[in-house]
Amino acid sequence: MYFFEWGAWEASLIPEEERKKDARTQKLRKKICTYESDEEEGMAAAKLRASETPKSRGPVYVFNNRILEIRSGMFEEKRGLISIVSATIIFLIINGFIGITAGTIWTTDYYYSEGAIATGYLWMAIGLTILTLPTTWFYLKYCLRFTRLEMFTSRHLLIRFNRITQQVYLHRPSYCGGIVTLPWEGVTSSGSADKYAVAGGIGVPLALCWSPPFTGTLRTEVAWVGKSANHQGEIRDEWEFIRRFMDEGPEGLPRPRITSHFPWPWQAFTPQFEGVTHYFRNASKLIKVGLVLISPAFLIIGTGHWLSLLLCWKPRWPKIIRQAGMPGKPVPPLTTLADYPPHIQQRLRENAHLWAVRPGQRPEKKPRKVSRIRKADPKPS
């Protein structure tokens, strides 16, 4: 599911008029503003050793002396819900057109053979036309964009680390920001220290972040790497594996299991349990019984997940990125604002202040003054 990445990209392009209407978003922006001191601390922490047991839980697609490629994206374990709804709508639309075609053919054949109009077939064709055509128009105009978050698109979001060029590449569909080339220098990580952990590392993947001074696109780039974690220790191990690969090389790192891009069924069902195995293991007997009772729901979502994988295609990198780091091959240029169409550039410029890093240090929080109303002394009896 590419819902998170799609939402982040849409938030970067939202017009100012629409943004001002949402007062809640405005307040949230003020709270999450970043200062230069925050960036310096985050980058410094990203250069330190975070774990003594580096390990990638994957899925890893490529691992050699030059590149490390891992699955990326948030909410992979929830992929399948949109696919089930979309497949149902598409199935009904296809059957509608089949019914229209069949009704028209039967009406025509009956007229030529009997010399009369078969009103039953005719009304069936007219009724299905009235239902199917508006439904198809509504789906293509308003719903197809959501279907493409799971179907008819790249099978996975990918992140590729190239230790020779010291670059990081994000593979995303164009409606989620497209393929981006970022510098390794400037990255901050949710696994570098506990203070940067997201949700305590429970149920979320490793998060990597690049601020606007390093992205060249006037917006912050965030990548979610690998599987959802059960605790912060798994996040630290994943990050340390990546950090050592980029800074020190693959020597001494445990070789990860390489995953195929082919959509095997277990690649759709196992993600349903990412980030929750620790919870299952320590759950009470009552909760375990409840989980057994709702297990058909996991089966349904897993089936939708597999359907989405089957109806997607293997992501393919541009030639310059595939050859990056090879002897005599050019180094891919970093992504800049000029790589986007003019109307996208204009929107990113207009919203650049939302992601800008403020100069100086973050001001210290002032202690809250708690005012207590003194109760009136009781009157003497």
Same domain, 34 and 124: no
Do 10 and 136 sit in the same domain of this protein? no
Predicted local distance difference test score (pLDDT) of residue 34: 79
- Domain contains 162: yes
155 in the same domain as 136: no
Q: Which residues contact 209 (CB under 8 A, 6 or more apart)?
A: 42, 187, 188, 189, 190, 220, 221, 222, 223
| Contacts of residue 169, Cβ cutoff 8 Å, sequence gap at least 6 | 158, 159, 160, 162, 179, 180, 181, 182, 317, 321, 324, 332
Q: Is residue 285 part of a domain?
A: no
- Of 157, 192, 193, nearest in space to 173 by CA: 157
Q: How many domains does the chain have?
A: 2
Indicate the pTM of the whole model. 0.87
The β-bridge partners of 366 are none
Which stretches in the chain have pLDDT values below 50? Answer: 381
In a domain, 104, yes or no: yes
Q: Are residues 196 and 245 in the same domain?
A: yes
DSSP 317: -
> Which sign does the torsion angle of CA 97, 98, 103, 108 carry?
positive
Q: What is the pLDDT of residue 368?
A: 62
Phi, psi of 231 (to 5 degrees): -165, 170
- Say whether both 168 and 158 belong to one domain: yes
Residues 213 and 177 occupy one common structural domain: yes
User: Contact 175/6 with Cβ under 8 angstroms?
Assistant: yes
Residues 98 and 200 in one domain: no
Q: Which two tokens stand for residue 87?
A: 């497949």
pLDDT of amino acid 225: 96
Instruction: Assess contact for 184 and 338: CB atoms under 8 A.
Output: no
Are 75 and 86 found together in one domain? no
Q: Is residue 36 part of a domain?
A: yes
Residue 102, domain member (yes or no): yes
Residues 91 and 235 in one domain: no
User: Is residue 244 domain-resident?
Assistant: yes
* CA gap 247, 252 in Å, rounded: 13
Tell me, yes or no, whether 312 lies in a domain.
no
Residues across the chain? 381
Shared-domain flag, residues 56 and 192: yes
Task: Give backbone dihedrals phi and psi of 358, rounded to 5 degrees, phi first.
Answer: -75, 145
Could you list the residue range(s) of the whole structural domain that residue 87 is in? Answer: 82-147
Q: Which of 129, 147, 165 is a domain's end point?
A: 147
Residues 238 and 98 in one domain: no
- DSSP conformational letter for 115: S
For residues 64 and 167, membership in a common domain is answered with: yes
Burial 88-97 (b: 16+ CB within 10 A, else e): ebbeebeebe
Q: Say what the pLDDT of residue 326 is.
A: 95
Q: Which amino acid is at 108?
A: T
Tell me, what's the pLDDT at 381? 47
